Amino acid sequence: MPHAIPHATPLVLLLIVLTDLAVLGTMRLSTCIRALGVQGLLLGLLPVSIAPTLSVHAVGLAVGTVAVKAVVLPWFLVWAIREAAVRREIEPSIGPIASLLLGAGAVALAFAIAARLPLPPGPDALLVPYSLATVIIGFVVLTTRRKALTQVIGYLMLENGIYLFGLTQTERVPFLLELGVLLDVFVGVFIMGIVVFHINREFDSLDSTRLTELAD
């Protein structure tokens, strides 16, 4: 299948996994958000690079993805940090070295699983292992980071992985449905942001482990 931009897809996918690893390796919240923004931008490039020709559908999806994932969501997270006056360092329950090694394990697992999945062989088969890797790393971030805000980041990475997987079906899924998914995520993160903000105002902390101490 001829691609609109040859050789771009493998490079973009590689960079997406590198942004995953950057989120795992960093100790700074702002770097996490920046990596997430870059990942959103890269995800926006993909619909164009895997499409056989430059169609309105592909370009529209790319523009929508970049607008939501690379501009609005990172901006919103930065706003949330500022408003909630969160400390700039993330406090993971496991250190950066263990996180990175888990990330490497996640990538290995993703490639091992993807080779065994009964998927129709296609030109976009390369997307599958990378999407699984992003999903698993999203889970790792979601489970090993204590702060509510970093958990939002993990959730967004998880969603990015699902979006990647969805791109293999891009010719079959109607455009409106994709827009609906983007909107869903946007609303979800918006609500989470407000919840995070309120947790912070009630309890002076965003440490989610302390939520177990709630009582009336």
Partner 1 sequence: MSVAHATALAVLLIVAPALPGIATKTRAVLTGRRGAPVLQLYYDLGKLVRKGSVYSVTTTWVFRTGPVVLLGSLVAAALLLPLDGRDAPAGFSGDLVAFAGLLALGRFALVLAGLDTGSSFEGMGASREVTFSSFAEPALFLCFAALVLATGDASLSGMLGAPVRVAWSHAAASMSLVGLSLFVLLLAENSRVPIDDPATHLELTMIHEVIVLDHSGPDLALILYGSALKLALFGALIVGVFLPRADLAAPAATGVLVLGLALVGVAVGVVESVMARVRLTQVPALITGGAVLALFGIILLLR
The CB-of-171 to partner 1 minimum distance in angstroms stands at: 25
Residue 95 in the binding site for partner 1 (CB under 8 A): yes
Please say whether the beta carbons of 128 and 168 come within 8 A: yes
Residue 119 in the binding site for partner 1 (CB under 8 A): no
Between 25 and 188, CB nearer to partner 1:
25
Strands (E), 125-185: none
Query: Measured at the alpha carbon of residue 97, what is the angle toward residues 38 and 138, in degrees to the nearest 5?
Result: 45
The residue count for binding partner 1 (CB under 8 A) is 20
* Binding window for partner 1 (CB under 8 A); candidates: 44-52, 72-80, 95-103, 155-163: 95-103
As a whole number of angstroms, the distance between CA 189 and CA 109 comes to 28
* Binding window for partner 1 (CB under 8 A); candidates: 52-60, 97-105, 142-150, 189-197: 97-105
SS3 assignment for 188-203: HHHHHHHHHHHHHHHH
As a whole number of angstroms, the distance between CA 50 and CA 52 comes to 6
Residues at the site binding partner 1, with contacts judged by CB under 8 A:
10-11, 14, 17-18, 21, 25, 27, 95-97, 100-101, 103-104, 107-108, 111, 115, 129
